[in-house]
Structure 1
Amino acid sequence: TLHVGLLVVAYIVTSYGVVPLLRWGGTRLWGSLGAVRVAAARALPMLLLFVSFFFLTGETWQTFSHLEGVPYGLALLLFVAVGVSFVWSTLRPDIETLGRFESWDDVRTVLDRAGSPAAGLPMPSDGEPEVLQLSKRQRINSLLVAVGNQTILAGLVAAVLGVFFLVFGFVVVDEALLASWAPGQEPHVFFGVTLNGRRLVFTEELVRVSGFLATFSGFYFGVYSVTDPSFRQGLQDDSRQSLREAMAARVVYLHAREG
């Protein structure tokens, strides 16, 4: 059974390029820091206005401050799974259109801009290239790149909001307010400081509520980023450009092989 499991894992890793995708994801994570500034200017004000309402609602604290272990993890994973599934289904039609080129000049322009070696291969001067037909594995790999890009950006936005709510909650939610919002047990205080006669506490309950709201914010951002056309145009989507260049190169290679 162990050997079968290892073979399955090895097949998935090699067939779908998991290692290159992870390496790309790490590079993209660093490169996305600049895009987060754009996302922050466009989406965070509305997100803060929307999510802050839930942060200052007693029902949110009653629900998530006492939710522990597997149930808490499943609640967060549910939002992650639904968000990724929605982004996956929304971006699937986009992947199909990336393999369509109006003319060979269009293909040449894409390759020249990318500095691809495929630009040196012979191409017809007129006519329209055939629509690139991707195999199931190729479509999945392309979707993984596109969805991974949105997921990384949503994760960074969620992290920013999570830190904000941790700091905000540390400043405004003291033990008395926490006890009124989430009665039933003593707050688990990690540490506290006294400022102007007010005791500020950093609690486990605050971490749980902030974690949920950060996950929800990432979910909301992920959905919003693929459904609002003006917002998508404002973000730098390097993955779409990279996929377009890869498909242009494949069109040329297939033409050269058939010719």
Structure 2
Amino acid sequence: MTSGPDPSARATLAATERWFLDHGLSYFVPEERHAAREALRPRRFLPAATLTVALAVGGGVVIAWLSEELTAAPAFLLTAGLLGAVAYALTSLRARPIIRWALHRALGSLRTLLPMMSRALPLLLLFVTFLFINAEAWELSASLDPGTLWLVVLLFGLLAVGFLLVRLPEEVDRTDDDVDDAFLLRACAGTPLDEECRTLVADPSADPASYATVTGFERWNLVLVLVVMQAVQVLLLAGTVLLFFLLFGALVMEPETQAGWTGMKVSEIRNLPYLDHVSVALFQVSLFLAAFSNLYLTVSTVTDEAYREQFFSTVLRELERAVGVRAVYLALRDRA
């Protein structure tokens, strides 16, 4: 008669899977990973995608007709498509724990935002301020209708996310390259696999480090965590740039100057009540420059060594822990 898996091992594996879910590692759990893979099959994915596109096209046509702006249609179509993709990821693709944990970690590490701002913002503001006090930048931004301006903002945002999706997998690959017994013991400390890790490391016949390579859905789980955390921090910095230019413009940009730089009449400058300097043109140029700054900061925080050290020092330990716990989990599951 053959006996089933050790009950204590089963309990440890179940506790580890709960730990994975609590730490934004949904795809490290086999059942969650299988559900996400099934959701990407054409028979599941295509009906939802078709419905989203149909609603987005219909809504875009209606908005373009009501606003009499042709560019409102593609702007709404792209926005609705992105929102639909996010909604599908949060539900069918089981990405909600991933996004929730990444947002929690990003917002919980705001104390690191000030050092990043002291490194990134001075040179950026010095450069972008010259664009802000440039008549051509005002004329270009003010000439854009809302739909076109929003398309430009989305374009900068998508370029930034695309850049992150290309570069951040390198950080994941770099983390699982140098896994040894000391790495595993350090990673599993304080987790449900703490005791099991010490047992496996001490067993000459076991080799949990051989399970360290992260691929497939699990690899993209870690990349998604990095993308969300990086995006939150960069968006906060870009929001700071937007507020700075709104405040700076409200202080120094007279309505006559705004009219001259935008090619409009003073009477055509729309502003807030009792705030003559805060106009639609000021908001448009500030938003345009903030979107450009978002792309610049995204590239800088990944390629510049000073920025990379500042950002990845806060997440490298999380990456190492996830890789180490996963390796011991897989080794224990195979043994059980």
- Please say whether Structure 1 and Structure 2 have the same fold, judged by a TM-score greater than 0.5: yes
Describe the superposition over 1:160-186 as per-residue Cα deviations: whole angstroms up to 9, x where unpaired: 111110000001111110011101352
* Paired AA for residue 175 in structure 1: P
Q: Report SS of the residue matched to 1:117.
A: coil
Q: Report SS of the residue matched to 2:214.
A: coil
Residue in 2 that maps onto 1:176 = 256
Q: 89-98 or 159-168: which moved more?
A: 89-98
The separation in 1 between residues aligned to 2:259 and 2:323, in whole angstroms, is 58
RCO greater where, 1 or 2, for CA within 8 Å and sep 6 or more? 1
- Shift in alpha-carbon separation, 1:51–1:11, aligned structure 2, 3 A: closer
Residue 164 (1) aligns with residue 207 (2): no
Residue 228 (1) aligns with residue 310 (2): no
Residue 207 (1) aligns with residue 283 (2): yes
Q: Report SS of the residue matched to 1:129.
A: helix
Residue 191 (1) aligns with residue 234 (2): no
Describe the superposition over 1:185-215 as per-residue Cα deviations: whole angstroms up to 9, x where unpaired: 521111345xxxxxx5210111111111111
The separation in 2 between residues aligned to 1:256 and 1:171, in whole angstroms, is 64
Describe the superposition over 1:134-169 as per-residue Cα deviations: whole angstroms up to 9, x where unpaired: 342222221110111111110000111111100000
* Paired AA for residue 279 in structure 2: T
Identical columns (%): 29
- Shift in alpha-carbon separation, 1:130–1:29, aligned structure 2, 3 A: closer
The separation in 1 between residues aligned to 2:298 and 2:89, in whole angstroms, is 26
Q: Would you say the 8 A contact 1:145–1:239 is kept in 2?
A: no
| Residue number among 48, 53, 56 corresponding to 1:5 in the alignment | 48
* Paired AA for residue 111 in structure 1: C
RMSD: 2.6
Q: Would you say the 8 A contact 2:187–2:322 is kept in 1?
A: no
The separation in 2 between residues aligned to 1:143 and 1:42, in whole angstroms, is 25
Q: Which has the larger share of helix?
A: 2
Residue 95 (1) aligns with residue 175 (2): no
- Give the TM-score of the pair, scaled to structure 1: 0.87
What are the within-5 Å matches in structure 2 for residues 78-93 of structure 1? 78-93=155-170
Residue 256 (1) aligns with residue 319 (2): no
Aligned-residue offset at 1:11: 6.4
Name stretches of at least 5 consecutive residues in structure 1 with no aligned partner.
194-199
What are the within-5 Å matches in structure 2 for residues 133-172 of structure 1? 133-172=213-252
Q: Would you say the 8 A contact 1:38–1:235 is kept in 2?
A: no
Q: Report SS of the residue matched to 2:272.
A: strand
Q: Would you say the 8 A contact 2:209–2:327 is kept in 1?
A: yes
Residue in 1 that maps onto 2:116 = 39
The separation in 2 between residues aligned to 1:56 and 1:182, in whole angstroms, is 12
Aligned-residue offset at 1:247: 1.3
Q: Would you say the 8 A contact 1:16–1:137 is kept in 2?
A: no
The separation in 1 between residues aligned to 2:136 and 2:243, in whole angstroms, is 21
- Shift in alpha-carbon separation, 1:98–1:131, aligned structure 2, 3 A: farther
The separation in 2 between residues aligned to 1:38 and 1:54, in whole angstroms, is 25
Q: Would you say the 8 A contact 1:28–1:149 is kept in 2?
A: yes
Describe the superposition over 1:83-116 as per-residue Cα deviations: whole angstroms up to 9, x where unpaired: 111122111111122223442122102222xx21
Residue 20 (1) aligns with residue 97 (2): yes
Residue in 2 that maps onto 1:197 = none
Larger radius of gyration: 2
Q: 42-51 or 10-19: which moved more?
A: 10-19
- Shift in alpha-carbon separation, 1:118–1:48, aligned structure 2, 3 A: same
The separation in 1 between residues aligned to 2:239 and 2:88, in whole angstroms, is 33
Q: Report SS of the residue matched to 2:238.
A: helix
Q: Report SS of the residue matched to 2:130.
A: helix
The separation in 1 between residues aligned to 2:45 and 2:300, in whole angstroms, is 42
- Shift in alpha-carbon separation, 1:2–1:68, aligned structure 2, 3 A: same
Q: Would you say the 8 A contact 2:103–2:228 is kept in 1?
A: no
Aligned-residue offset at 1:28: 3.1
Q: Would you say the 8 A contact 1:102–1:128 is kept in 2?
A: no
The count of corresponding residues between Structure 1 and Structure 2 is 251
- Give the TM-score of the pair, scaled to structure 2: 0.68
| Residue number among 109, 123, 126 corresponding to 2:200 in the alignment | 123
The separation in 2 between residues aligned to 1:11 and 1:87, in whole angstroms, is 21
Residue in 1 that maps onto 2:149 = 72
Q: 2-11 or 98-107: which moved more?
A: 2-11
